[in-house]
Structure 1
């Protein structure tokens, strides 16, 4: 069954055989019921889950899914980012979720990228239009940002750098989402802004 509204699902990369089987069972159930347009795989702070992320992306691609790897830039170098993207090109990935990411505990330097907009610009510089790039946005604004207007400008910078679309952080008030979209449109941002929804996994 295909829903009238396209859906995607975000997964954490499994680290154990049991977690991997749970992921594959979940993916099979979702394909049989809602036929997601694509799935994405997260990337740990500072690249802490890099090998797990890459392996999971490769396995899901092998199942015939359209997969968008998450790519966080904090702590990374241009050389490392380009090498990883080349591997994703070889896998046949044409969609990315480009993020600033979190600074892991103990990391002294943010690396060669300070903001997600710099990562997006670098991907466009090195790979042109090979990737459909999605970025994050925050209807209730990022906790490290001083105010909503500044956060909105950061989002606009990511789009100006070459992002094709955005996925919101989950929010607790739907009005926050609609207000954010209206504000972005007034600022001239016209890319799709997809609401991120945290699913209910325990009904007890």
Structure 2
């Protein structure tokens, strides 16, 4: 069994303490030689400037291949494409193209009057430039706003047909959830790679709130396990074991790439990668 390639998602810092945490995260995980690392946008595009700064800094100082998140929220088409062009000029040629969440306080996404109506339009415009490898989001348990999974997969196919090279899934907790989704995508004619998104559970209370908002199912065995682990003070051990077992099942099922949502807390992700047999590599820093 071959060792999979990996990628990591970070979010941009909002404070000095957050900056130190981000750089610690980058330095901790860079030796695992990720294929790429991505940097998120906040809801409603609230961290647009911070994302741009973090992407540029990581790209210049770490030598890592950085993918910048880009959304349709609260920006005109011209403004969005200007941001993309600035990335290209900095040497960043990977973008995770998303519709984006509605701004805080708004129930649903409303396009900017002069903006992209949805992620398909954004992907098509980015693809037309010929400057980017484009990745998109996918939902193995259905996007909360989709009518059903068939409609969700049909929309994913539109994103791939518009120019996306691969899709990264929302996190999930059972390998069969991913395998069923992957098979359904193939049946729908999607031939681009579908990369599973893995969330090592760093914060149990926060994870439960997030799963409620995005529709991710938590198996009863995990609910019971964390009830015991919280009492015993062994939540990190349990989280590492759960994520490692999930990743191992995915690898056994033919998955060749794993994408980790780090929440800028690198230790659990590092421990899972080590448990899967990934060894740190010496990296040469880009000091140019």
The answer to whether TM tops 0.5 is yes
Larger RCO (CA under 8 A, 6+ residues apart): 2
4+ residue runs over 2 A deviation:
105-109
Superposed, 1:13-162 pairs within 5 Å as: 13-32=12-31, 34-63=32-61, 64-105=63-104, 109-111=110-112, 112-125=115-128, 127-128=129-130, 130-162=131-163
Question: Helix, strand or coil for the counterpart of 2:5?
Answer: coil
Q: Distance in 2 between matches of 1:109 and 1:160?
A: 24
Bigger helix share: 2
TM (norm. structure 1) is 0.92
Cα deviation, residue 82, structure 1: 1.1
TM (norm. structure 2) is 0.66
**Structure 2 stretches of 5 or more lacking a match?**
203-234, 238-288
Contact 1:103/1:110 (<8 A) preserved: no
Question: Helix, strand or coil for the counterpart of 1:142?
Answer: coil
Larger radius of gyration: 2
**Structure 1 stretches of 5 or more lacking a match?**
none
Cα deviation, residue 172, structure 1: 2.6
Cα deviation, residue 106, structure 1: 5.2
Q: Distance in 1 between matches of 2:127 and 2:137?
A: 17
Aligned residues: 199
Q: 1:147-174: CA deviations, max 9, x gaps? A: 1111011101100101000000001322
Q: Distance in 2 between matches of 1:45 and 1:79?
A: 20
Contact 1:75/1:103 (<8 A) preserved: no
Q: Distance in 1 between matches of 2:104 and 2:34?
A: 35
